[in-house]
Amino acid sequence: GFNEEKRNKAIQILAEKGIATNVHYKPLPMLTLYKNLGYDIKDYPNAYAMYENEITLPVYSTLDLEDAEYIAREVVNVI
């Protein structure tokens, strides 16, 4: 699996290839509000594992098959 460092490196490499990816899932215990309420991400290892292994790929209405195939090919190459 990935860790945050490897995931972030993959995001960087994909960006260099013109593929904008991001991380859209952040576990609630990592948000300031929940931290201030006493929640600790260490108590939620599964949520953290999902977070460090998740990358959101480009999805939009004008994404054509050629671009989708390019994205898929480059993601496979990077991971």
Q: Average model confidence (pLDDT) for the chain?
A: 94
pLDDT in tens, 44-66: 999 999 999 999 999 999 999 99
CATH of residue 35: 3.90.1150.10
Work out how many domains the chain is built from and give that number: 1
Q: Let me know the angle formed at the C-alpha of 50 by 45 and 51, rounded to the nearest 5 degrees.
A: 95
- Give the SS3 label for residue 38: coil
Which of 9, 21, 7, 1 is CA-nearest to residue 71? Answer: 21
Residue 30 has pLDDT above 80, yes or no: yes
Residue 14 has pLDDT above 80, yes or no: yes
pLDDT in tens, 35-46: 999 999 999 999
**Residue 66 belongs to domain spanning:** 4-78
Residue 1 has pLDDT above 80, yes or no: no
